[in-house]
């Protein structure tokens, strides 16, 4: 396909093809580095979201007596009610909707 001169040095079309391939290798290397950095960022974001989810599950499953025993718990004021489970979910959902409505206004 590509010929070399008898002395082993590439000529014309060989030199051009070698230059093209070197450029392509460099480009693919940069694409690979960019993809790796992007993947790493996505992996970090996923780990952070998983940690947030685990925290929420832990908080959601807290005993309603946590306020008396001390420790971490979720509650609603001014009612001073300790929340967990579906009640906590519903309270958070309602607060998020209210917050979004205020932000949209």
Question: pLDDT, tens digit, for every residue of 76-99?
Answer: 888 888 999 999 999 999 988 988
Quote the Cα angle for 39-41-46, to 5°. Answer: 90
Please state whether beta strands 74-76 and 81-83 pair in parallel, antiparallel, or not at all (unpaired): antiparallel
Q: What is the pLDDT of residue 89?
A: 94
The answer on pLDDT for 43 being more than 90 is no
Cα–Cα distance, 70 to 40 (Å, whole number): 39
Closest CA to 12 of 89, 92, 25, 20: 20
Closest CA to 14 of 5, 2, 1: 2
- Rounded average pLDDT over 12-33: 77
The answer on pLDDT for 34 being more than 80 is no
Query: Which residue is it, tokens 């932000």?
Result: 103
Q: What is the pLDDT of residue 3?
A: 54
74 DSSP β-pair partners:
83
The share of the chain scoring above pLDDT 90, in percent, equals 24
Q: What is the pLDDT of residue 6?
A: 56
Mean pLDDT of the chain: 81
């Amino acid at each position: 396909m590509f010929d070399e001169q008898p002395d082993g040095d590439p000529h014309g079309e060989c030199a051009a093809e070698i230059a093209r391939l070197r450029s392509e290798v460099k480009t693919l290397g940069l694409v690979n580095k960019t993809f790796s950095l992007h993947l790493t960022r996505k992996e970090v974001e996923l780990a952070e979201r998983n940690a947030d989810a685990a925290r929420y599950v832990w908080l959601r499953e807290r005993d309603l007596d946590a306020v008396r025993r001390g420790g971490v718990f979720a509650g609603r004021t001014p009612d001073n009610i300790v929340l967990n489970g579906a009640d906590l979910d519903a309270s958070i959902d309602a607060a998020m909707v209210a917050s979004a409505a205020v932000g949209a206004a």
